[in-house]
Amino acid sequence: MRLPLPTRTLLIAVLLPWLGACSMGQMVARSSGSILDGSIEAMNRETDLQLAETAIPANIKLIEGLIVEDPHNAVLLVSAAQAFYGYAFGFVELRDPERAAALYTRGMQYGMRALRAMGLHLDLAHANPAQLDAALARLNRKAVPALFWTASNWAKQIDLNRTDPARIAQLGNSERLMHRVRELDADYYYGGVYLFYGVYYGGRPPMLGGDYAGSEQNFALARAVTQGKLLIVDVLQAEYLERQRLDADQFQRLLSAVTQAPPDTFPEMALANQIARQRARVLLERQNDWF
């Protein structure tokens, strides 16, 4: 049916500003969310580490290209933060810590950009605690992914620069972001919040703010979220808590169990479990350096 001339004129008047403000590239970027979700799900189910290591950088560059087209798209910015974290942790950190620190920094920067797109306009690294807590309190559950991946990248970047006092000074602010995640959605990303705190409290001696009992409790909470199916929980407990309290027997017990776990333990997170097995083997090879 052909619309009357006045109606057509009105539609053109309404649509022209939108079409002028939104390029074809932006339209593609803004419609890519479901495709990225499917890509992440497929990658999480991947069991071939070599295939995943080869594929992830191309996915990262695709996401970065979409961000160029739509630089304030919080969904894309969070996807970039998550991708940089996963690639750095899974395939780079143990071989090249310096490069991993740079990748975590890029992931952190994308996460901070996502938070700015959501209205958090603060210098997160230097904001005082009261300012930061007040700003974080205004964020709702929609901000959980941005907060989680920003804090995760930030904490790992600090962990790999432990000799830099300026980086260490930022640890408290990175924790404040994760504390807000815990308030909003404590079980987010398969108990990743609890994993963060297991490492946060277990990776330092008590005289420097560590808390072995608190660390063990958080690792137990993380384990409970997936009924023990997510193997990286045991790996990180061994790597951080057991190394710090010099429990060689528990270190070896946890990592050996991971290396012997069935390959189909958790199909939805098969790649994470393959990464955990690989990391466990590397850590076992290095245990004589620590005990």
Q: Where are the domains of the chain?
A: 186-291
Give the chain's end-to-end CA distance (angstroms, integer).
80
| Whole-number Å distance between alpha carbons of 152 and 156 | 6
| Whole-number Å distance between alpha carbons of 192 and 218 | 10
Residue 29's contacts (CB-CB under 8 Å, 6 or more residues apart) are 66, 67, 69, 70, 73, 76
| Whole-number Å distance between alpha carbons of 52 and 39 | 12
| Whole-number Å distance between alpha carbons of 97 and 249 | 27
Q: Is 211 left (phi over 0), alpha (psi -120 to 50) or beta?
A: beta
What is the predicted pLDDT for the residue at 19? 43
Per-residue pLDDT, averaged over 153-167, amounts to 93
| pTM of this structure | 0.88
Q: How confident is the model at residue 46 (pLDDT cuts 50, 70, 90)?
A: very high
Q: How confident is the model at residue 9 (pLDDT cuts 50, 70, 90)?
A: very low
Three-state SS at 194: helix
